[in-house]
Structure 1
Amino acid sequence: MLENRINKRTVFYGAITLTETLPSVQLGCEKKAQAQSTSGSQHKRILLAVDLQNGFLITPECLAVVPKVVAHASQFHQVWATRFFNRNPNFSRQVNWNQMVSAQETELSPALIGVVSKTFDKPSYSPMSPALLQALQTDAITTVAVCGVDTDACVMATALGLFDAGFETFVVSDACASSGGQEYHEAAIKILKRNIGEKYVISLSELPTILSLGLATK
């Protein structure tokens, strides 16, 4: 009998303790879920500056891109850069183009020192290498704004590559230029509006709104 009374008392007080504990456990789980949800909603956005190298900065329009990148760098989580090296034989064989080989040509503009956090080298138009994809995933980057030169070549290839890889991709039209001239730049912008979405081809003046509100990642 005594043992039965003790067991009943243990069950009774255990039930009270469990009843008091459950709400606090549930509250803790809710807070944890809310924190995870809040953390997941924080989108990291980078500016990817394409090929702002001495050998490509040969027109006033191309040169003007560099100070724009520097001026707007603080609006992003980080600024990354790509750097082109002419190692694909098709450039010589099919396009008869043999530049961007020397150290002087391939160096990034000195004005970008201290602004660019990561640099990715590439031998062709697109920078979409395992190294770049891994870096984007490791740093939890959700959105990439693309700028640089040439709009009709490496900028377009970069934007389409990021789009294909599933990243929210913007092209900052007035922070891009083509060493081939304005007509090539404008033609590329028109094609990009068709291929990645017109509202994703933006101007520098739109950056504050885009970065604070987002579009597809909201």
Structure 2
Amino acid sequence: MSSQGLVHGPLGAKCLHVCVDMQAVFLPGSPWANPWMERVLPAVEELAIRHADRTIFSCFIPAENANASPGMWKRYWRKWESSTLERVDPAALRLVPSRARLAPPARIIDKRVDSPWTEGHFEQLLGSGEVDTLVVTGGETDVCVLATVLGAIDRGFRTVVAADAICGSADETHDAAMTLYTSRFSEQVEIATTDEILTSWR
């Protein structure tokens, strides 16, 4: 997917970088391995280093076990029982080391669902009127990144997806999500490269 660029102009002082779920549990060797995650890590890191004090890392925290989950999450965690808190190595849930060393000043928010918007803490971190633009990186393009982007759209944030700093575990659905961003949400989502974002965001 080629970059559209920042069609709505430069990024301002009210911009914030949201890095989605760049955790060790998604690295190769895990049941949830994302084969493209290592490839996008340098771009994500470049953004986070340059704007560490304007970065929030979200971390996906599994359920304790399937029975502790509501509704259809029970079915989900039965399938992924090996990744529940009862079974998974706690170290796997931490940010990959190159991200963890940036916090602080970067901030971390834990979430137990795909979206960071549903548990209350995320919007508190954004502050009232202190942020008007979100730059989104991380994984996966078609799941937690998608949930993050849709929540930003609903709340009226200018939303910039860093094309070379997001990843999915399946090319087909990654490409489909990118097409969704640029077609159905073309007025609300901009697709830009990390270089374009860094050049514009000063």
Normalising by the smaller structure, the TM-score range is 0.7 to 0.9
Q: Write the distance in 1 (CA, Å) between the matches of 2:49 and 2:92.
A: 27
Q: How does 1:4-43 map to 2 (within 5 A)?
A: 43=13
Deviation at 1:138, TM superposition (A): 5.0
In 1, distance between residues paired with 2:191 and 2:122? 22
Partner residue of 1:110? 97
Take 1:195 and 1:91, find their aligned partners in 2: how far apart are those partners?
Answer: 28
2:48 to 70, 73, 90: 73
Q: 163-172 or 129-138, which moves further after superposition?
A: 129-138
Deviations 1:6-28, CA, capped at 9 Å, x for gaps = xxxxxxxxxxxxxxxxxxxxxxx
2:39 and 2:75 map into 1 onto residues whose CA distance is: 31
Q: Which residue of structure 2 lines up, in the alignment, with residue 169 of structure 1?
A: 159
Q: Distance between the aligned counterparts of 2:153 and 2:140, measured in 1?
A: 18
Aligned 1:106-185 pairs, distance under 5 A: 106-116=93-103, 117-128=106-117, 129-138=119-128, 140-179=130-169, 181-185=170-174
Name whichever of 168-177 and 134-143 sits farther off.
134-143
RMSD: 2.5
Partner Cα separation in structure 2 for residue 84 and residue 186 of structure 1: 23
Larger RCO (CA within 8 A; separation ≥ 6):
2
| TM-score of the superposed pair, with normalisation by structure 2 | 0.74
Structure number, greater radius of gyration:
1
Question: What is the TM-score with the length of structure 1 in the denominator?
Answer: 0.69
How much has 1:191 moved relative to structure 2? 1.2
Q: Counterparts of 2:84 and 2:41 in 1: how far apart (Å)?
A: 18
Q: For residue 60 of structure 2, what is the aligned residue in structure 1?
A: 84
When you count helix as a share of all residues, which structure comes out higher? 1
1:52 shift after superposition: 0.4
**Which amino acid letter does the alignment assign opposite residue 118 of structure 1?**
R
**Aligned counterparts of 2:140 and 2:156: Cα–Cα separation in 1:** 23
In structure 1, the residue matched to 2:75 is 93
Question: Partners of 1:100 and 1:68 in 2: how far apart?
Answer: 30
Distance 1:109 1:187, change over 3 A: same
Q: For the Cα contact (< 8 Å) 2:12–2:201, is it kept in 1?
A: no
2:47–2:198 CA contact under 8 A, matched in 1 = no
Gaps of 5+ in 2: 1-10, 28-32, 64-68
Report % sequence identity: 29
Aligned counterparts of 1:71 and 1:43: Cα–Cα separation in 2: 18
* Unmatched runs of 5 consecutive residues or more in structure 1: 1-40, 213-218
Q: Which amino acid aligns with 2:37?
A: C
The number of aligned residues is 171
Letter in 1 for 2:155: A
Partner of 1:187: 176
What is the deviation of 1:86?
2.0
